Structure 1
Amino acid sequence: MENKLSRVTVDAKQASFVPNWRLCLALPSSMAASDFLACITVASLPWSTTITSIFSALWALSVCPRIRIKEFVDTLVRSRSGFAAALFAVALAGTLWATDVSWAARLRGVNPSVKFLMMPILIYHFQKSSRAIWILYAFLSSCTVLLMLSWITAVVPSLTSIANLQPGVPVKNYIDQSQSFALCAVVLAWPILELIRSRKINLALLLLALSVAFLVNLSFVALARTALIYVPIMLFLFGAFYLPRSFFYGAIACFVFLAGTAWLASSTLRDRTNSILLEYSKYGASNEITSAGMRLEYWRKSLIFFREAPVLGHGTGSVQTLFDRAAHGQTGLAAQTISNPHNQTLNVAVQWGSVGCVILYAMWIGQLTFFAGSGFYPWLGFIVVVQNIVSSLFNSHLFDFVPGWLYVIGVSLAAGMILQRVDGIARHDGGGER
């Protein structure tokens, strides 16, 4: 088994970013339809919640008729995606013990976890598809168009839509935009490095320019404060895993220099950084309502709610009810209510207690270990999980729409391609032995 996995690593390193057209055209039309729906889903993700929801459902439905139960169970076990399905299962079961919560609220609480049920289905699809690279092209192209529009609306704020008053954020919000741009910028590091090693300098420089453009946009146009934490961590992990040690230390020094330069040059970056320190310093010293102060208050109350029901939690959809009850008769920060405590662990713990937390961390750890290898697809899956874990310290990003779908699709694509290569090597070895 170790020999097969090592060969997968080498194969992944040598994977071409050009699709095999003959193989693609030779596949059944149902597979082609699923790949087409997948492309629309990922391309629409940075832009439209409605389009993504519709086409992701159509995508999953198009895969289901091709599923063979024995193969599907095998995929579920090997990819360790059963924990994702279990998270949906506990959310569904949690509706049964959610007391003093309307059924409408319980069903709304289930809704964000439905996409986890789709993860094994999407992994199964990518395990069979030869067009997986199209998904990457579709998402990168979509984010590149959004990047250009972001720069345009930053320079000409009057072009920003009436519904969105922030220049540089033409659609959705700056948190979702930052999540997408940061992922593109960091994931591109692997093909850039491989192109340099292959002496394809022109293409490497083109991708490097695109990656830098994403990072510069984050620094000077619109930045989610959480990105100040997960972007350096993601870049550090890439350097630690893939760069030679002598070059890695130089890269750290270069990054510190560039980050310092960006901080001095960008008022956006300075304001976002300083606001964190200022808002946290006010918490406890005054009753002023700030973004950071509200987070700390949400976390404090969530820990109290968890201690009240530590094993199974208060049930699905109970968060809003609990905060409303705690805010009764209060003023200032204590009077703030929310349906999302802005921390993934606490969100799970309040609703499903320790049982939910065990499933959540088993999913994260299982996927991190599954992607513990070299090559593009292990890197893609690993960094998607890392970004989600870090950003989920300050948000419930598994349950938020864009970050949650980035996680589900990114993990599914990477896991499916790894399994596809393992199966390909197994068939090759089996044929040789016969």
Structure 2
Amino acid sequence: MSAAAEPIGALLSRRWRDPAAWMASADVVAVLLAASLPWSTSLVGIFAVVLVIVMLPTLDAPALMASLKRPACAAPLALFLLALVGTLWSEARWGMRFYAVAPTAKLLLLPLLFHHFARSQRALWVFIAFLASCIALLAMSWLVAYFPDLSLKPKDFASRGIFVKNYIDQSQEFTLCAVVLAYPVLSLLRERRFVPALLLFAISMGFLANMIFVIVSRTALVTMPIMLAAFGLIHLRWRTNIIILVATAVLAGLAWVASPPLRAKITSFSSEYQLYEQGNVSSVGERLEFWKKSLGFFAEAPIVGHGTGSTEGLFIQAAVGQKGLAAEVIRNPHNQTLNVAVQWGVLGILVLYAMWLSHLLMFRGEGLFNWIGLLVVVQNIFTSLFNSHIFDFHEGWMYVLGVGIAGGVVLKASGASASRGADAS
């Protein structure tokens, strides 16, 4: 019987039992997940659940269990388990305890992504989908900058150039895309493939121009130079780095002169700090107040912290009888280390830093996927000085997808290299 004449039921049954079909399905769902991340939180949640479901039929249970011994897998699982066990000594209401566990649950996907993309051939599709989605968002950002009524944000909360979500999330995406593209541009130039190199360079400059002339977060302003420095130190000669440093200084000066939004964003650091010193409310002042109080909470329970979900209750107690900034109550101190320290003390800090370190060490090699993974980790570490980006929805998923998918490819390559070494010996 020909394939064309095969009954539909038999065809579906055969596909149902075909591991390759399930692998392809998981790859497609991962592509859809990455493409939806810049636009929607609901779709990300839906596709994440579907992704786990379609990965299950192809899991190699013994290999997956063996992989959990790697620090890159064990550390994120330990952070989730610590959050879960930390509910036992927390004094927060139980609803708040489990609410605080939820942001760590996405870390459970990391071992599954390592396992899947160590066998998949389509990891690059996922990153291309994310880049293409960010390019589409870039186009919408320019449109909304000139036609604000096109924004889907409520008019009272809309920022210039923001179509969906917020300027912090958008800046995270644009910064990552702009710097990641430096590697393929350099590789193409070395291969003397000037046309595709010029195209990718133009896309990178498009992201940068949007952040200069439309809107950018202060976190991006701080972290982008660090990411660019990582690129220069790893991939360029010192003379080239000096030339680029001088050129960057000149371009930064031109951007300062040409972009009022950029000047306003940079000068807001000092102006908001002065407002804080005068006792007025400001974004910078809020962070300083949150950090000061969080350090005090950490000092009260330095070993295992106050327990999962305890942050809000501690701020409520500290706000009694206070006014102004001192009376503000939050669940998130806007610093990843302090967020962990308040809830789980030094133990939590050690687990968090072990996770970051294990993922940094994973991406020590050459190649595009090592570069993507390294930048995702570096960006998360430094933006987490001003936010809790492992626990935040958007940035947390950027981390999980970037590290999980790039890590799977890198682990596959390292495994292949180990096998070749063993065969040679």
TM-score, L = length of structure 2 = 0.93
Please say if residues 153 and 164 of structure 2, whose CA atoms lie closer than 8 Å, have aligned partners that are also in contact: no
2:205 corresponds to = 212
| Alignment match, 1:165 | 158
Tell whether 2:50 aligns with 1:58.
Answer: yes
Letter in 2 for 1:403: E
Task: State TM-score, norm by structure 1.
Answer: 0.91
Percent identity over paired residues: 47
Deviations 1:308-359 (A, max 9, x none): 1111111111111111111112101101111100000000000011110000
Counterpart-to-counterpart distance in 2, 1:231 and 1:53: 28
What's the secondary structure of 2:278's corresponding residue?
coil
Q: Distance in 1 between matches of 2:404 and 2:185?
A: 23
How far has the Cα of 1:428 moved from its partner?
Answer: 5.0
2:123 and 2:406 in contact (8 A); partners too: no
Q: Which amino acid aligns with 2:373?
A: G
CA shift for structure 1 position 365:
1.3
Q: 2:180 is matched with which residue: 183, 187, 200? A: 187
Choose the corresponding residue for 1:104, options 91, 95, 107.
95
| Aligned residue pair count | 406
SS in 2 for 1:130: coil
Q: How does 1:323-342 map to 2 (within 5 A)?
A: 323-342=315-334
Alignment partners' CA distance in 2, 1:59 and 1:137: 18
Which residue identity does 2:139 align to in structure 1? M
Conserved? CA contact 2:22–2:57, under 8 Å: no
1:280 shift after superposition? 1.4
Deviates more, 1:252-261 or 1:75-84: 75-84
Gaps of 5+ in 2: 1-17
* CA positional deviation for 1:192: 0.5
2:383, 2:345 → 1: CA distance? 21
CA distance in 2, matches of 1:204, 1:230: 25
Aligned residue among 240, 257, 268 for 1:264 = 257
Q: Which moved more, 1:69-78 or 1:302-311?
A: 69-78
* 8 Å Cα contact 1:79-1:370 kept in structure 2: no
* Whole-angstrom distance in 2 between the partners of 1:173 and 1:129: 33
CA drift at 1:73: 2.9
Shift of residue 50, structure 1, vs aligned partner? 0.5
| TM superposition shift of 1:368 | 1.2
Q: Is the 8 A contact 1:168 1:221 kept in 2?
A: yes
Q: Describe the SS at the equivalent of 2:68.
A: helix
User: Which position in structure 2 is the counterpart of 1:245?
Assistant: 238
1:227 counterpart residue number: 220
Match of 1:45 in 2: 37
88-97 vs 161-170, which moves further: 161-170
| Superposed displacement of residue 385, structure 1 | 0.6
Name the structure 1 match of 2:8: none
Letter in 2 for 1:145: A
C-alpha spacing 1:175/1:431, structure 2 compared with 1 (3 Å): same
Contact 2:167-2:216 within 8 A present in 1 as well: yes
| Matched letter for residue 333 of structure 1 | L
Give the CA deviation at 1:114. Answer: 0.3
Conserved in 1, the CA contact under 8 Å of 2:141 and 2:163?
Answer: yes
Aligned equivalent of 2:355: 363
Q: Which of 103, 112, 120 is equivalent to 1:121?
A: 112
Q: Aligned partners of 2:102, 2:31: CA distance in 1, in Å? A: 23
Work out which of the residue numbers 163, 176, 193 in structure 1 matches 2:169.
176
SS in 2 for 1:77: coil
The amino acid across from 1:92 in the alignment is L
AA paired with 1:57? V
Q: CA deviation at 1:374?
A: 2.0
Offset of residue 427 of structure 1: 4.6
Q: What one-letter code is carried by the residue in structure 1 that aligns with 2:124?
A: I
The alpha-carbon deviation at position 219 of structure 1 amounts to 1.1
Correspondences of 1:266-345 after superposition (within 5 Å): 266-283=259-276, 285-345=277-337
Question: In 2, are the aligned partners of 1:188 and 1:211 still within 8 Å (CA)?
Answer: yes
| 8 Å CA contact 1:345, 1:357 repeated in 2 | yes
Q: Does 1:385 align with 2:358?
A: no
For 1:268-295, what per-residue CA distance to the aligned partner results, in whole angstroms no more than 9, with x for missing partners?
A: 1111111111111232x32211100010
* Aligned residue number for residue 192 of structure 2: 199
Counterpart of 1:128 in 2: which secondary structure?
A: coil
Match of 1:33 in 2: 25
Amino acid at match of 2:160: P
Classify 1:355/1:423 alpha carbon distance in 2 versus 1 (closer, same or farther; 3 Å): same
- After superposition, the C-alpha distances for 1:17-76 in whole angstroms (9 at most, x for unaligned) are xxxxxxxxx971000110011011111001100100110121122212322232113333
Task: State the alpha-carbon separation in 2 of the partners of residues 287 and 211 from structure 1.
Answer: 41
CA distance in 2: counterparts of 1:334 and 1:172, whole angstroms: 29
1:409 equivalent to 2:401? Answer yes
Aligned counterpart in structure 1 of residue 248 of structure 2, from 255, 259, 273 = 255
Quick one: distance in 2 between partners of 1:432 and 1:227? Answer: 47
- Counterpart contact for 1:192–1:204, Cα < 8 Å: yes
Give the equivalent residue in structure 2 for 1:4.
Answer: none
Q: Is 1:138 paired with 2:129? A: yes
- Counterpart CA distance in 2 for 1:97 and 1:317 is 10
CA contact (8 A) 1:64 1:121 kept: no
Shifted more, 414-423 versus 123-132: the winner is 414-423
CA contact (8 A) 1:319 1:339 kept: yes
Paired residues of 2:212 and 2:259 also in contact (CA < 8 A)? yes
Q: Give the residue type in structure 1 aligned to 2:118.
A: Q
User: Secondary structure in 2 aligned to 1:330?
Assistant: coil
Quick one: distance in 2 between partners of 1:262 and 1:105?
A: 45
Shift of 1:429: 5.7
Give 1:162 shift. Answer: 4.8
Answering whether residue 331 of structure 2 is matched by residue 352 of structure 1, we say no
Matched residue type, 1:93 = V
